[in-house]
Amino acid sequence: MRYWFYSLGLGAILVGGLPVFVAQAILRGKYRRGLPERLGRMPAWAGPVPPVWLHAVSVGEVMAATPLAHELAERRPDLPLLVSTVTDTGRNVAEQRLPAKQFVFFPVDFGWAVESALDRLRPRIVLLTETEIWPNFLRACGARGIPVVLINGRISPRSYPRYRRVRRLFARVLQGIRLFCMQTPEDAARVLDLGAPAERVHVVGNLKFDLAVTGDPQDGSAVRQMLGLPPSLPILVAGSTHRGEEAPVLGAFQAVRRAVPDLTLLLAPRHPERLAEVEGLLERGGLAWVRRSRLPASPAAPVILVDTMGELARLYAAGTVVYVGGSLVPIGGHNVLEPAAYARPVLFGPHMGNFAEMARFFLEQGAGIQVHDTDGLAAVILRLLQEPAAADRMGEAGRTIVDTHRGAGRRTVDLLEALL
């Protein structure tokens, strides 16, 4: 591959986006944290044993990698773990959840930045999550004899056609990955078609199934007590919502409250920087709300706006019905396994491309219901609140899916052993 051409294109993109970068850094502090690390100026690894470098972009990838990190630490306590992220929120959650000796921000994929980072950190192996395929980083690892593994690998239906258009170039990049641990047979077929060597590609399942294993349906009582909410209160949890999605969710919530006046909404926007925007929607809709961080000190309101990080998975346990966001708008959906682990009935919209296999499982097994608009969402919520036995059957079906498909972390570490 002509890496200089790729680097030139990357540079043009970064320069073109510089005004946005500067504005976000000034106004929101976004990306300002760890800027030297993003440019390759990492704190040097000081330990005597080279680390296992695990890279997870943001909160979702960090959460998915958590079972693998603990499985690896349990089996190989002699190998220290180093973790990198791209986002601040991902870094914060990683520091809370992962058993790592050092945390850094991942370098921008310029040759000089990634080479500096690798020379300072000296990893024995690099684990990249999902679709984190960076040409200059892979080339620099290859030049240093550092094996790279793609864990929880996936090629989404939306990105696959784009990769196919540059398949000849992409195939050369994929040669830099020693092992592909893919989520599904479809993901494996796509990466093979893009040029991955067949002997390196394995289907191990989705690590997020393992993440959900810790759920206990009885946790709901403890979570409600933590929030200061009555045990019998009907609660709708809307998790990981995006711009354009809160309005239909709030519309459905208000419609259902006409029949179920004590219904409470736990609303968790995917991106915390949008909290003020969502508060504006609530104010214009005439809805009283309270931020989660103020509970239980402040009285509860009809809407509880979740402003805490890394807590959503557990908050699902408090729900009577759960809607998983990123699916009424064309985002690709989010993880339906977390509420299913607590045996909660799960609703989602039509845009589940990033979790297509999970959505299919849930629909086929009666563990989830797909809705398409405000009216459809309201109708299903009301039906499940009025028919608790049906809601319980849905929840148990989801829990069964989680229990049946767990084990990806163990299978991934089994494959990693030969490279460690």
Residues serving a catalytic function are 61
- How far apart, in whole angstroms, are the C-alpha atoms of residue 108 and residue 84? 12
145: left (phi over 0), alpha (psi -120 to 50) or beta: left
Q: Show Cβ contacts of residue 262 under 8 Å, excluding neighbours closer than 6 positions.
A: 233, 234
- How far apart, in whole angstroms, are the C-alpha atoms of residue 374 and residue 255? 9
Number of CB atoms found within 10 A of residue 7's CB? 16
CB 40 within 8 A of CB 119: no
Strands 201-203, 368-370: pairing kind: unpaired
Please report the DSSP string for 12-81 in residue order.
HHHHHTHHHHHHHHHHT-TTTTTHHHHTT-PPPP-SSSPPEEEE--SHHHHHHHHHHHHHHHHH-TTS-E
The SS3 of residue 285 is coil
CB 269 within 8 A of CB 309: no
Q: What are phi and psi for residue 16, nearest 5 degrees?
A: -60, -30
Instruction: Identify the bridge partners of residue 354 per DSSP, sorted by sequence position.
Output: none
CB 245 within 8 A of CB 267: no
- Cis? peptide before 123, omega within 30° of 0: no
Instruction: Provide the token pair at 137.
Output: 């980083």
- How far apart, in whole angstroms, are the C-alpha atoms of residue 352 and residue 312? 19
Q: What is residue 318's DSSP assignment?
A: G
- How far apart, in whole angstroms, are the C-alpha atoms of residue 393 and residue 389? 6
- How far apart, in whole angstroms, are the C-alpha atoms of residue 174 and residue 21? 30
> How are strands ordered across the β-sheet holding 201-203?
102-105, 81-85, 52-55, 125-129, 148-153, 179-182, 201-203
**Dihedral angle over CA of 373, 332, 219, 257, nearest 10:** -10
